[in-house]
Amino acid sequence: EHSTVQIQKGLAGVVADTTAISKVNPETNSLLYRGYPVQELAATQPFEAVAYLLWNGELPSDEQLAELRAEERRHRALADNVRAAIDLLPLSAHPMDEVRTAVSVIGASDVSGSGSVLDAAGSPEENLARSVRLYAALPAIVAYGQRRRRGEQLVEPRDDLDYAANFLWMTFGEEADAVVVDAFNRSMTLYAEHSFNASTFTARVITSTLSDLYSAVVGAIGALKGPLHGGANEAVMHIFDEIGEADKVVAWLDEALAEKRKIMGFGHRVYKRGDSRVPTMKAALDTLVEHYDRPDVAALYDALESEFVSRKGIYPNLDYPSGPAYNLIGFDTLTFTPLFIASRVTGWTAHVMEQTASNALIRPLSAYNGVDERHIDGYVPDAEAL
């Protein structure tokens, strides 16, 4: 359709729309959720309050937080049909596919309105309710996936525990220490929202056709799985396991860079001088290194960071401190990116509602570079072949 314009590969640098949900500023290396610096939110708010803020634009009053917590408790338990769908999958299925399937089942079972595709988009009220239900349901889905793979029984939620503590309870079947709950809560806040990243933009593209919120989340999960995006936190742990210890970093990096490998956990499309969220997540990792007495993890983390930054001038992103933090807490490496889903579902659904509120079908152009026009004239395949 166009052959002369400059192609923006990967839409790099393209401003596709406005958003009032978050502001990523690489110049000041800062990130605001509805105006609040993310490090302030991570240090002072429960993840429930941050979810409320992303959806509604303001931090909740005590009553609004209590109401959100009550609604979350009503939808925490793993639904029978969702569990049955997960149990149909082989234990070898990737947890991202497991969670994607679970969300599909939830979406396919929530048929409201006429059931016609014309009603798929849902009203703002319906979509807010759906967002809360997904946010509430995901911890049990992620926790069950890990326990199933370990051959452990399902753990029922506990209403006396708030979001982060209950997530850890359902995953490990024991109450986590306060310092662990705090570190986990911070990671949920830090992962929640990041403007038009690949998975969020995917959710907006799907929403722009007036499809439903669940389809948008399923698509976003597909995008998040890739190691260039959410899958990087799992990949970071594979790298830590490959290297083993700090004094093996130099040799490992020599070989990896010689093979032109991307070192997961480093670099970012928008942040070019470091990811604004890393200091807060690194501080959380430091508390866990202290709590579990694992100075070897800190040594490996610091050695790889300083070696890579000095060689490539490329800085860690949020996935770099998150990987070792989740490992210390006890999550299986394959569970790391599903944790990213549990958090980012709040940002995705906030963007679904924002896209719906002022929608335009997202359909960019392409510049054709295929063969010139040509015609059949005379070419007829062997009559028998038809």
Q: In this complex, which beta carbon is closest to ligand SDX, that of residue 170 or of residue 221? A: 221
Number of shown-chain residues binding ligand SDX (CB under 6 A): 20
Neighbouring residues of 332: CB distance < 8 A, sequence distance ≥ 6 = 146, 149, 150
Question: Is the distance from CB of 342 to CB of 167 less than 8 angstroms?
Answer: yes
> Tokens at residue 108, please?
């396919």
Residue whose Cβ sits closest to ligand SDX: 267
Catalytic annotation, pick one of 275, 319, 332, 351: 319
- Name the percent of the chain in helix, strand, coil, to the closest 5: 60, 5, 35
Q: Is 375 a catalytic residue?
A: no
The contact pattern for ligand SDX, residues 301-320, with x = CB under 6 A and - = no contact, is -------------x--xxx-
CB of 101 to ligand SDX, least distance (A): 22
| Residue with the two structure tokens 């052959």 | 3
CB of 318 to ligand SDX, least distance (A): 6
Q: Work out whether strand 30-33 and strand 22-25 pair parallel, antiparallel, or are unpaired.
A: antiparallel
Nearest-10 crossing angle of helices 47-56, 62-74: 100
Q: Is 17 a catalytic residue?
A: no
**Identified binder of ligand SDX from the candidate list 132, 180, 263, 325, rule CB under 6 A:** 263
Q: In this complex, which beta carbon is closest to ligand SDX, that of residue 40 or of residue 290? A: 40
CA-nearest of 132, 130, 136 to 166 is 136
Question: Is the distance from CB of 236 to CB of 265 less than 8 angstroms?
Answer: yes
Neighbouring residues of 288: CB distance < 8 A, sequence distance ≥ 6 = 179, 180, 183, 294, 325, 328, 329
Residue 268 binding ligand SDX, by CB under 6 A: yes
Interface region with ligand SDX, contact rule CB under 6 A, candidates 80-88, 101-109, 258-266, 361-369: 258-266
CB of 378 to ligand SDX, least distance (A): 47
Q: Please count the CA atoms within 13 angstroms of the CA of 194 that sit on its side-chain side.
A: 27
The contact pattern for ligand SDX, residues 186-205, with x = CB under 6 A and - = no contact, is --------x--x--------
Interface region with ligand SDX, contact rule CB under 6 A, candidates 80-88, 91-99, 127-135, 267-275: 267-275
Residues that bind ligand SDX (CB under 6 A): 10, 194, 197, 228-230, 232, 262-270, 314, 317-319
Catalytic residue numbers? 268, 319
